[in-house]
Amino acid sequence: SMNPDLASERQTASFSVEKLTTWLDGGAEQTRLRRAVVEAIECDPVFSREDQYFQSQNERYEAAVRKAVHLQKKMQEMGWSEDGPEFKYIYRAVAGDIAFLLHRVFMRSVSMLGSDEQIAKWIPLASQYQLIGSYAQTELGHGTYLQGLETTAVFDVTTQEFILNTPKISAMKWWPGDMGRSATHTVVFAQLYVHGKCYGIHPFIVQIRSLQDHSLCPGIIAGDIGPKMNFEHIDNGYLMLQNVRVPRENMLNKFCEVQPDGTYVRRGSQKINYFTMTSVRISLISGEAVLPLMKACTIAIRYSAVRRQSKLKPGEQEAKILDYQTQQEKLLPQLAAAYAFHFINDYLQELFDRGYRDIQRKNFDTLPELHALSSGFKGMVTQCCTSGVEICLRACGGHGYSLLSGLPSLYTKIIASCIYEGENTILLLQTARFLIKCFMAASTGQSVPPSVTYLAAAKPGNCPAKNKLDFLHPDIYTEAYQHVAVRLISSTAAKLQDLIQSGVKKHDAWNRCTVQLVQAAKAHCHYITVKNFVETVEKIETKAGIQKVMKDLCDLFALYGIFSNTGVFLHDGYISGAQMDMVTASYLDLLAIIRKDAVPLVDAFDFTDKSLNSALGSYDGQVYQRLYEWAQKSPTNKQISPAYGKYLKPLLHNRLSKL
């Protein structure tokens, strides 16, 4: 049965939830397809996540392998293919708890970095699971800085083999997924040496386990790196290589080759590698950051409409916690951010698709911009979504802290997105480097990529808002964001130049500006996000109800950003103290407005109860009943703990002997 408090939230929606869902999906056909995939996966008991919160690391690994193997069968059964329209919904539906994701990266790297012969040899083997692949790049002592990797591959002319070695403990491969227990093969990145000369990092296909009995191959030491905050389903592994020999043909050689006599030949453009990273960073934004935030918002907002605590008015019943301003101020900006980042993901995808078409025509011009945007947005979005999920967790009080709420596992998983595929601070600094370069170019009149033309067009003057309603004009706030981005970029560029002119060495000057450079990069991404949200709202052609509520959300996102970063707007007086009070007033007013539609706005994300896997977030709002039922299933209630017989009984028995 439906909780009446939650039911009443849905009766007053100012828009059609189904229409909003369809619009977010990009059309009714997409919605239909997504639901069909989710339905097919969720009705299959192999994919059930019912026991997830009670499983050990070993059990989760086993379930993930089972799911991965079963998924192959399922896809054949359903007629789904890797390049079919359903594909993007499959991993969303299994909600990540599946093995062999690195097998896919293995295949992608062979396809990208291998010659035609290599592709012809390895891809069929991999796609038919005649091997299980992994991707061994990161080392115990080396992450983002690839040039620092220490694994070596020395070419032996006499045997036409590469001899791979882990020269010291910090060179051990560490973290690669699917490698701890599953993989039979992996792509190892190592420093190539030929005739004593180092040619830098190259990829080699190395077999690590027997195809017969899965035992480790000679010279291989490998295993699981142990427990982590989450990702228990993945066997992140370590790998040590001791004089492991692979044939010359196992170096992936699309871009460079070692010939039989040891001659090193480089060929083609490596820019495409650059593009691969960009592609991965953009592709993780939606699935690994925005979707988890949407789920967390759904759970926390539904719960806040059911949970009652204290009285708002004397004599009345206890109030829904969603009616408290402080609770609204925690959750509703996260809801607005989830929408904002969903739209920025569309923007990045479009830019990426355009870039991809250019690259196929051998035009690499858009790469620097695409690289800068993908780095910056990966950094900004994963960071904001991570804090958003944490806010949702804490906003649910004690019950949010129970694994059964679903929030702890969302949090412990999303926090990893701030680190993998490029640590966020380093990524934001890459964006900053691009911005400084473009700012310099723009100030000397050179042309710059479209997303940064605003750097040249900066207008002087202050914010023209006269009352709190003026801050609901998108022009007003978009210009404020633009002004701040320009100011932070230009002032940091000036500091950098001043330092260099005063004799500080370039790299040192850069290091001394990095705290401010990160701020500038964030301001740039924030500005683009606000601008893109505004443009998205303007383009809405569906029923007015949706445009109105999206406009409110857009305003909320923009004003929250000002309210929570007042300093950068006040710094040079662009926004005055009096105007900031207007921002605050408008912002707080918006909370009360969005609050009315909060539940329908999360309903529109269209998550099934199974995909939320949360005792607090289900559609029917029966939170207490579900917490109680789910707790029964815990292994802690399945048996009398040995602690009783061993420790409690003797302790309490003392009493009997004393009586």
**DSSP conformation class of 215:** P
C-alpha 319/C-alpha 419 separation (Å) is 40
- Contact between 48 and a second copy by CB under 8 A: the answer reads no
* Rounded Cα–Cα distance for residues 346 and 198 (Å): 42
Task: Pick out residues in 350-379 that bind a second copy (CB under 8 A).
Answer: none
CA distance 562 to 216: 56
Between 140 and 534, name the residue whose CB sits nearer to a second copy.
140
138 is in an annotated binding site: yes
> How far apart (Å, rounded) are the C-alpha atoms in residues 526 and 561?
8
Rule CB under 8 A: which of 242-301 touch a second copy? Answer: none
> Please, which of residues 476-505 interact with a second copy by CB under 8 A?
505
CA gap 431, 13 in Å, rounded: 40
Contacts for 349 with CB less than 8 Å, ≥ 6 apart: 282
What's the min distance (Å) between Cβ of 603 and a second copy?
23
Which residue in 223, 262, 287, 368 binds a second copy (CB under 8 A)?
A: 223
Q: Is 451 left (phi over 0), alpha (psi -120 to 50) or beta?
A: alpha
Q: Which is nearer to a second copy, 174 or 533 (CB)?
A: 174
Q: Taking Cα atoms as reference points, which of 230, 147, 232, 158 lies closest to residue 191?
A: 147
Per CB under 8 A, the list member of 508, 538, 543, 609 interacting with a second copy is: 508
Smallest gap from residue 273 Cβ to a second copy (A)? 18
Residue 471: phi and psi, rounded to 5, are -75, 0
SS (H, E, C) 133-164: EEEECCECCECCCHHHCCCEEEEECCCCEEEE
Query: Which amino acid, 550?
Result: M
Total residues contacting a second copy by CB under 8 A comes to 131
- Give the other-Cβ count within 10 Å of 148's Cβ: 14
Least CB distance from residue 386 to a second copy, whole Å? 9
CB 31 within 8 A of CB 22: yes
Residue 461 interacts with a second copy (CB under 8 A): yes or no: no
Q: How far apart are CA 493 and CA 483, in angstroms?
A: 15
Q: Does 324 bind a second copy (CB under 8 A)?
A: yes
Shortest approach of a second copy to residue 267 CB, angstroms? 28
- What gap in Å lies between CA 406 and CA 399, rounded to an integer? 10
462 near a second copy (CB under 8 A): no
Residues 203-222 that bind a second copy (CB under 8 A): 211, 214
657 part of the interface to a second copy, by CB under 8 A: no
Site for a second copy in 133-152 (CB under 8 A): 138, 140-145, 148
Which position among 313, 362, 459, 539 is part of the footprint of a second copy (CB under 8 A)? 313
Q: Which residues of 563-576 are buried (b: 16+ CB within 10 A; e: fewer)?
A: bebeebbeeeebbe
**Alpha carbons 564 and 211: distance in angstroms, whole number:** 56
636 binds a second copy (CB under 8 A): yes
DSSP sequence for 539-583 = T--S-HHHHHHHHHHHHHHHHHHHHTTHHHHHTTSSS-HHHHHHH
Residue of the chain from 130, 243, 269, 276 that contacts a second copy (CB under 8 A) = 130
User: Among the candidate windows 1-9, 279-287, 525-533, 651-659, which touches a second copy by CB under 8 A?
Assistant: 651-659
Q: Which CB sits closer to a second copy, 125 or 272?
A: 125
**Known active-site residue 421:** yes
Footprint of a second copy on 73-112 (CB under 8 A): none
Catalytic residue among 288, 421, 423, 541: 421
Query: Per-residue string for binding with a second copy, 384-423, x by CB under 8 A?
Result: ------x--xx--xx-xxxxx---x---x--xx-xxx--x
Nearer to a second copy by Cβ, of 92 and 228: the residue is 228
Question: Is 177 labelled as part of a ligand binding site?
Answer: yes
Smaller CB separation from a second copy, 72 or 447: 72
**Binding residue for a second copy (CB under 8 A) from 570, 593, 596, 619?**
570
Cα(318)–Cα(324) distance, rounded to whole angstroms? 11
658 interacts with a second copy by CB under 8 A: yes
Q: 3-class SS at 392?
A: helix
Q: How far apart are CA 535 and CA 482, in angstroms?
A: 15
Q: Which stretch binds a second copy (CB under 8 A): 275-283, 342-350, 537-545, 622-630?
A: 622-630
Minimal distance in Å, beta carbon 494 to a second copy?
11
Among 263, 276, 325, 446, contact with a second copy (rule: CB under 8 A): 325
How distant, in Å, are the alpha carbons of 330, 340, 493, 508 from that of 497?
A: 40, 35, 6, 12
Strand partners, 155: 162
Residues annotated catalytic, as ranges:
421
Residue list, annotated binding site for FAD: 138, 177
